Amino acid sequence: MRIVPVAGGKGGVGKSLIAANLAVALSREGKRVILADLDLGGSNLHLILGMRNLKHGIGTWLSHSRRPLEEIMVETGYSGLRFIAGDAEIAGIANLPASQKNMLIRRLAELDADFLILDLGAGTHFNVLDFFLISGRGIVATTPTPTATVNAYLFLKNAVFRLIQISLPRKSTAGEYLASLHKQKDSLRHASIPQLMANIGQVDPHSFDGLRARMQGFRPRLILNMLEDPEDAEKVNGLRRSCQQYLGIELEHLGIIYRDDIQDTALSSGLPVLVYKPRAVLSQAVARIAAKMVQLDRDGEPETWPAIDAGYREAGLEAEADFAGKIDYVQDLMNSGALSTGDLIETIRSQQIEISHLRKQNTFYKTRLVQAIQQGYTR
């Protein structure tokens, strides 16, 4: 069974939307899929699937955690897809004691399916990191905004630190070395991972071998969501470079997804967008990512950097192609009369207002910049 946690650090970047629609898409590829909502305290996956009035979820199971998880698993009505709900009533994953977390991880790993998709909550709490680290191929979702990419990076940085921590036996020389760094608070926060790895290799070569193996098996996969235009695709290049340089990990690119207002209609009609409108650019993008995951599974991973580079180039091309698709879609809507020239004029007018607003802001910032430079403020 492939376990695919979906995380991202920041809330609202589309983790749940991606998890739910990927699960549907994979089940349509003929896979047996289980989707589980681990965003305790913020569960909304059932709403994306259009399932209401669910009696039981992880919250119920936690108070009977010796029982099999299957007891709270339900059919979704989509062939091949089963669902484990979360619980909005309970306090959140941060409050989950370690023993329960470990039990939950064990039970999840025992489930029987081709894919187990885990929707995770925001933040970088140990518990979120540990669910993410169940697999070396978790998905990190981000949007092109600087806040989201920075959060994605911080999430990955925390995940790597956590991975190092759980890979080293506490009583080993390396474990003690790490604990001593922890005590000198800042030294760990500022440490670069490649440097830290080198130090661990020196103080404790034996423990280092196990750690290195786990680090090599850690290659998270990126999904860039809510693009507005093709240039947004480049916003993740810095994220990738930072991961290589400071974390010593390679971030694979699974693909891009444009922002699409159709998601709102899908949500209010209680259907995953992939079912509501399979031909929408958004649905096609998720289906493409699912197909890529199945293919990676079959053909094996790209082992070399050039192959991973190609993944980033491909994502750039997809961003171009989907943008063209969106334009065609407008054309179709006009041809069928669903979108009138009046609507377009209205859209153009409101965009003009936005542009003039942005222009004013831009001028304001430029003035500020010039002032700052004149005052010799160089940072």
Ligand X SMILES: Nc1ncnc2c1ncn2[C@@H]1O[C@H](COP(=O)(O)OP(=O)(O)O)[C@@H](O)[C@H]1O
Sketch the per residue contact string, 23 through 52, with ligand X: x for CB under 6 A, - otherwise: ---------------------x--------
Q: In terms of CB distance, is 149 or 225 closer to ligand X?
A: 225
Query: Which partner, ligand X, Mg ion, none, binds residue 259 by CB below 5 to 8 Å per kind?
Result: ligand X
Residue 83 gets the label, from left (phi > 0), alpha (psi -120 to 50) or beta, of beta
**Chain residues in the site for Mg ion (CB under 5 A):** 15-16, 39
Report the site for ligand X in 205-264 (rule: CB under 6 A): 225-226, 257, 259-260, 263
Q: How far apart are CA 117 and CA 127, in angstroms?
A: 17
> Three-state DSSP class for 4?
strand
Q: How far apart are CA 231 and CA 150, in angstroms?
A: 18
Q: How far is CA 292 from the centre of its chain?
A: 16
Q: In terms of CB distance, is 150 or 267 closer to ligand X?
A: 267
Report the site for ligand X in 357-376 (rule: CB under 6 A): none
State the nearest-atom distance from the C-beta of 85 to ligand X, in Å. Answer: 15
Helix (H), strand (E), coil (C) string for 220-288: CEEEEEEECCHHHHHHHHHHHHHHHHHHCCCCEEEEEEECCCHHHHHHHCCCCHHHHCCCCHHHHHHHH
Structural tokens at position 152: 């994605």
Is position 282 an interface residue for ligand X (rule: CB under 6 A)? Answer: yes
- Beta strand 81-84 pairing with 33-37: parallel
2, 11, 246, 325: which one binds ligand X (CB under 6 A): 11
Report the site for ligand X in 331-360 (rule: CB under 6 A): none
Q: Are 115 and 33 in contact (CB under 8 A)?
A: yes
Query: Which partner, Mg ion, ligand X, none, binds residue 76 by CB below 5 to 8 Å per kind?
Result: none
State the nearest-atom distance from the C-beta of 349 to ligand X, in Å. Answer: 23
Is position 149 an interface residue for ligand X (rule: CB under 6 A)? Answer: no
**Residues paired with residue 222 on neighbouring β-strands, in sequence order:** 140, 253
Query: Which partner, ligand X, Mg ion, none, binds residue 14 by CB below 5 to 8 Å per kind?
Result: ligand X
Instruction: Give all strands (DSSP E) within 48-202, no chain letters.
Output: 73-75, 81-84, 115-119, 139-142
Is position 158 an interface residue for ligand X (rule: CB under 6 A)? Answer: no
Query: Which partner, ligand X, Mg ion, none, binds residue 260 by CB below 5 to 8 Å per kind?
Result: ligand X
Task: State the residues that interact with ligand X by CB under 6 A.
Answer: 8, 11-17, 44, 225-226, 257, 259-260, 263, 267, 282
